[in-house]
Amino acid sequence: MRFTFAKKSRAESSKSRLPVWKKIGLSAVVATIALPSWSAYASEASDRLQQVLDILSTSHVSGVTEEALSDAAIKAMVDSLNDPYTEFMDKQQWSQFEGSLARNYVGVGILISHTAEGVYIEQVFKDSSAEAAGLQPDDIIVKVNDTDITPENAKDVATYITGEENTNVTITVLRGAERLVLTMPRKAVSLPVVESAYLDGGVGYLKVYSFSDDSDEQFTEILEGFQAKSDFRSLVIDLRDNPGGLLESAGYMASNFIKDSVLIHTKTRNGTDNPVNIVGGATLPLPVYVLVNENSASASEILAGALQDYKVAVIAGTNTYGKGSVQSIYSLSDGSKLKVTIEEYLTPLGHPVNKVGIKPDLVLEGGMNQLLQVLRLAGVKEFKVEKNRSVVTVNGMQVDDSLPAVEEDGKLWVHSRVLAALAGAELKWVPEAQGVELIVQGKAPVLLSGSQAKMVGDYLFLDAAAFAQSFPGVKVEGTLNQLALGASAVN
């Protein structure tokens, strides 16, 4: 199979896409292909299989049905391959798979978080059932329908709230001293697949959660909006924790940066190379940074690998997942699907991805540290990181990264890498002092050790107040659940 991606104009709709597509995800790299009739595969082996099905379904004392036997036989055949990406999906499983790719689910439209205080609402989605019913951020969920929420079942709250579309769910919350009982319908909810922010310094930020059917169109529209700004200086693409999606979506995103080149090479069981090409793409003459981590997989690795091979972007973070195989989806007669590994893919320069991943150009550990360092490289000069319970924002932009901090010994301790990133400092462990040396170019090193440094589990935390005294440009305000860290421009 050969695929060519030509850069689309904004007027082109998803209906104009290629009739054959591949999905590339942590659990799938798939192409939808019509399955030939069973007779095309008729053989002595298939005849024997049918005979066994007939005998067992008509003679076995258990009364087992042919459908149940067929499902068991398919599962056994698939399991015998020892391939986690080849699988059989019934109609319901296939629907769930498609929904996960598009980030769709049936619920009320809230994002919840777990803290020592209980399960609280972090975000209420716009135009959702939850918004209409009156749920608000910071409400603490204490009951769902007739089930009281306890520490033992708190992890199951999302399961209690979601359910069949157009059925009602009653959620009881605490809002301060007030107890509210609110009933609302469950409806289809679509989570965003691309989010963006435009930061001071002319830095565009694009967070891609999934390579769904329209994510490339959203990506391109936002990018064109950035390009229309006179002060646009650099771009950050965040692919961390993105498990993949449609190959064509990754291809069209790549066409914003790459002209007339190979996107990936695919290698079949016979060793045949079927390149996937980009035709009529564009370039972006600005610095581009791509954030990846160990959960960036498949389509994320395709995009990151191509931008890295063509030296279009600096890849930063940690080594990616290493999902470099291609699956095809075969539609069966009853609407079920068979997903089969058919190819391995390589980067444009022929680097393998499967079980290897993409090695970043700049290795950075820790989510918040990764984000702050890359934003600084991209041109952001000043930072304000705020934490309200588990909701974290960076320069007003809500992020998925946590702000690792603890309160112990009457002090507030913050992860050493985060503080170093805010100060624009290089971090160096000094074993003889059981502390760290922080180095800012052109300034004397600062050593924090003894009572100013503390191991929390496997990670080094620093006394935030002592750090701020050593680095006047860094400000620390508030407590553990209401925390603000600021950093002025590093000179």
Q: CA 478, CA 484: separation in Å to the nearest integer?
A: 6
Q: Contact 344/397 with Cβ under 8 angstroms?
A: no
Q: Which one is catalytic: 238, 309, 401, 463?
A: 309
Active site residue 148: no
- Residue 190 a catalytic site member: no
Query: Residues 6 or more apart from 278 whose CB is under 8 A from it?
Result: 4, 5, 6, 7, 251, 254, 255, 258, 259, 260, 261, 262, 263
Mode of pairing for the β-strands spanning 391-394 and 314-317: unpaired
End-to-end CA distance of the chain: 54
CA distance 345 to 270: 14
> 243 and 298 in contact (C-beta within 8 Å)?
yes
Bridge partners (DSSP) of residue 276 are: 3, 264
Which of 27, 210, 255, 298 is flagged as catalytic? 298
In the set 7, 22, 323, 387, the catalytic residue is: 323
DSSP annotation of 489:
P
Can you read off the two tokens belonging to residue 82? 């020892």
Do the beta carbons of residue 282 and residue 7 sit within 8 Å?
yes
From the list 478, 445, 480, 488, the residue with the least C-alpha distance to 461 is 480
Tokens at 223, concatenated: 């990018």
Residue 80 known to be catalytic: no
Where in the sequence numbering do the catalytic residues fall?
A: 298, 309, 323
